[in-house]
């Protein structure tokens, strides 16, 4: 008995549980050169929403009635591939299946240390690299600069803020609950955080928190929140644009004021990116993140749902802000 | 008798003739260290619109009932400054006055050659530097890339397109009349040009003209036209954002679809700039532009209004697309 979660219809607007369906298949067996994997931890990430649309993006759309794919940690339970032995834990872009086989080409064996196993889906994985490289390569942080982060309590945002602090910036986070405000300032060392849902005047609150203006804006959300940050940017502001989660679930394009005038006025730069744009720098960045993590200078938070069947629910939770830090499903 | 044009009220929306007033003053005389200047050519430029608002920008707003300032070529008619002699032509950011004195600090003597005198307000001045440096420093043109230019028949756009061709790009211009479409392809060597006012489906027309997609978009206009270009950008597109003339005259912010999703999807870069951001490179850029101009590889077009009193009218004409190339008033 092998459960497999497929996309059974394309979400229109906000995804719902009935966009997903669980099929039952046989547990496959490993052919020559293959390994049989048992899924242990599943990463759910906002970018998956884009792959659920039938439109061109930086990666092809998911196919209907085919299993969804995301970052997964799995245990090798049978191996006909000399690179892997039974009991190894591997990281890969794998399917939402309890069991699956792989030729091992895109799998990486990760240390078995249970204290850090899930870190490879977060701070030591794509999430950490996205945060670190987006901030350092596009934002160009320097001591004394003011950095604002939206989606600050999310997987990427919470690392961006800490890296900003480690590099000498003043860091202000924008987030969606008072609990998260507390988390940002107490656990992640942000200088200040603002609950954008309860701020009567978000632009004014950002101004008050950033008396010297905003030099770097690491944007995970887009939309109205970003307009309020743009009201406060300094000359030559730099804006790494990592995502636009506030806009992903709208069937029709959301309208807002054109941002070209403020970009001209401030000689500001916005650069959209995905982590793959900086593949040349993965090794060096991973080394830096690992070193900070081991030295206790970088911490991370996870929201862990339990049970294979709850993967879709965990994914939907990303759009309600149900997660603090990295959203992961433990199988 | 010395005519002086002042801003008598701040335009709301589109500027009108009655926002300007002509005062009569005495002709001043040059004190020690000063020169007396007679205005010869006045440059009117879209960016002046921003200075007419009472809001912070990259340069302070014009003051009410004070003369307006822009790029001007003037003749020295009296000099108590050893750097200048009577009969010299100088270039400076001067007032809309028939006669004025200056301490000479920000004035530059330019060659008297009548064939190129006005070029110092255009292709060999701020306009040419804006076009050349915005394109080369932000757009990073390379042979074989597809470059789209909006406001293509304007002072900056017509130079951007020619520089793009000289650097090996395929160049497509967006402009507002069939006469300008003809001008772009016949005189300025654009590969193709599109009349955005008559195109039934501008996005589709851009797609047809750019079968390999848009690699660089030199944006002078912002707004809806830019949305249609963004529909067609390639992965890693680069967008030097020089101006947003389509949005300058709206009293309330104009709404359009948020552009963050497409920027993320395409890992695209937008960078607002003013020419002063690249001041370090003025000398080298001027040398390159002069060399191309003298070799006949670069050409320019001017729309010249005559008469001091017509300066405001020439300025208003910028927003109607009345100019082809650089708009200048000859006194």
Q: What is the pLDDT of residues B173-191, one digit of tens each?
A: 999 999 999 999 999 999 9
Q: What is the pLDDT of residue A55?
A: 77
CB contact under 8 A, A265 and B235: no
User: Nearest-CA neighbor of B162 among B302, B301, B274, B43?
Assistant: B301
Which one-letter DSSP state was computed for residue A137? I
A71, A283, A286, A114 alpha-carbon torsion, rounded to 10°:
60
Q: What is the pLDDT of residue A37?
A: 98
Rounded CA gap, A127 and A6, in Å?
24
Residues of chain A neighbouring B253 (CB-CB closer than 8 A): 257-258
Kindly list the domain boundaries of chain B, sorted by start residue: 2-122+301-330, 126-277
Higher per-residue confidence, A169 vs A249? A169
Give me the CATH code for the A2-118+301-330 domain, please. 3.90.180.10
CB contact under 8 A, A265 and B272: yes
Q: What is the pLDDT of residues B93-125, one digit of tens each?
A: 999 999 999 999 999 999 988 778 999 999 999
Its CATH architecture, for the domain B2-122+301-330, is: Alpha-Beta Complex (3.90)
User: How far A272 CA lies from chain B's nearest CA (Å)?
Assistant: 4
Residues of chain B neighbouring A265 (CB-CB closer than 8 A): 50, 57-58, 272
Rounded CA gap, A107 and A120, in Å?
12
User: Nearest-CA neighbor of A5 among B123, A13, A15?
Assistant: A15
Rg of chain A taking only CA atoms, in angstroms:
20
User: How far A246 CA lies from chain B's nearest CA (Å)?
Assistant: 10
User: How far A151 CA lies from chain B's nearest CA (Å)?
Assistant: 15
Chain position carrying tokens 């294979």: A308
CB pairs A-B closer than 8 Å: 117
- Do residues B313 and B17 lie in contact, with contact meaning Cβ atoms separated by under 8 Å? yes
CB contact under 8 A, B272 and A267: yes
For A242, the closest chain B residue by CA position comes to: B264
Query: Residue B203 class from Cβ within 10 Å (0-12 exposed, 13-18 middle, 19+ buried)?
Result: middle
For A243, the closest chain B residue by CA position comes to: B264
* Chain A contact present for B251, CB below 8 A: no
User: Nearest-CA neighbor of A173 among A186, B139, A304?
Assistant: A186
Residues 267-296 of chain A whose Cβ lies under 8 A from any Cβ of chain B: 267-274, 277
- What ipTM does this complex have? 0.89
Query: Please, what is the average pLDDT of chain A?
Result: 94
Q: Where are the strands (E) in B14-156, listed by range?
A: 20-25, 35-43, 69-79, 89-95, 99-102, 108-110, 146-150
Q: What is the pLDDT of residue B250?
A: 77
Residues 53-92 of chain B whose Cβ lies under 8 A from any Cβ of chain A: 57-58
Q: What is the pLDDT of residues A175-209, one digit of tens each?
A: 999 999 999 999 999 999 999 999 999 999 999 99
Total length of chain A: 331
Query: Please, what is the average pLDDT of chain B?
Result: 94
CATH of A126-277, one of 3.30.930.10, 3.20.20.450, 3.40.50.720, 3.30.450.20: 3.40.50.720
* Chain B contact present for A259, CB below 8 A: yes
């Amino acid at each position: 008995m092998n459960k497999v979660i497929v996309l059974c219809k394309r979400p229109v607007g906000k995804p719902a549980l009935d966009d997903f369906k669980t099929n039952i298949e046989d547990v496959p067996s490993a052919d020559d050169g293959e390994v049989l994997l048992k899924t242990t931890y599943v990463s759910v990430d906002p970018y998956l929403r884009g792959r659920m649309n039938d439109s061109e993006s930086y990666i092809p759309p998911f196919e209907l009635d085919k299993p969804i794919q995301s970052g997964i940690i799995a245990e090798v339970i049978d191996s006909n591939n000399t690179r892997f032995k039974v009991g190894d834990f591997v990281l890969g872009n794998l399917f939402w299946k309890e069991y699956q086989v792989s030729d091992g080409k895109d799998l990486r064996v990760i240390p078995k240390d249970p204290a850090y196993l899930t870190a490879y889906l977060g701070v030591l994985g794509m999430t950490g690299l996205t945060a670190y490289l987006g901030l350092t390569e596009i934002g160009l942080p320097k001591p004394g600069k003011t950095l604002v982060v939206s989606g600050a309590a999310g997987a990427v945002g919470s690392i961006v803020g800490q890296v900003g602090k480690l590099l000498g910036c003043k860091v202000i986070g924008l987030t969606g609950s008072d609990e998260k405000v507390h988390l940002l300032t107490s656990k992640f060392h942000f200088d200040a955080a603002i609950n954008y849902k309860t701020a009567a005047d978000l632009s004014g609150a950002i101004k008050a928190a950033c008396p010297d203006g905003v030099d770097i804006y690491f944007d995970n959300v887009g939309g109205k929140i970003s307009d309020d940050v743009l009201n406060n940017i300094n000359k030559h502001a730099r804006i790494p644009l990592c995502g636009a989660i506030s806009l992903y679930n709208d069937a029709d394009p959301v309208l807002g004021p054109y941002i070209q005038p403020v970009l001209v006025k401030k000689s500001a730069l916005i650069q959209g990116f995905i982590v793959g744009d900086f593949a040349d720098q993965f090794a060096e960045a991973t080394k830096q993140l690992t070193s900070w993590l081991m030295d206790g200078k970088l911490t991370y938070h996870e929201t862990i749902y339990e049970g294979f069947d709850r993967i879709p629910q965990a994914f939907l939770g990303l759009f309600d802000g149900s997660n603090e830090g990295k959203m992961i499903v433990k199988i």
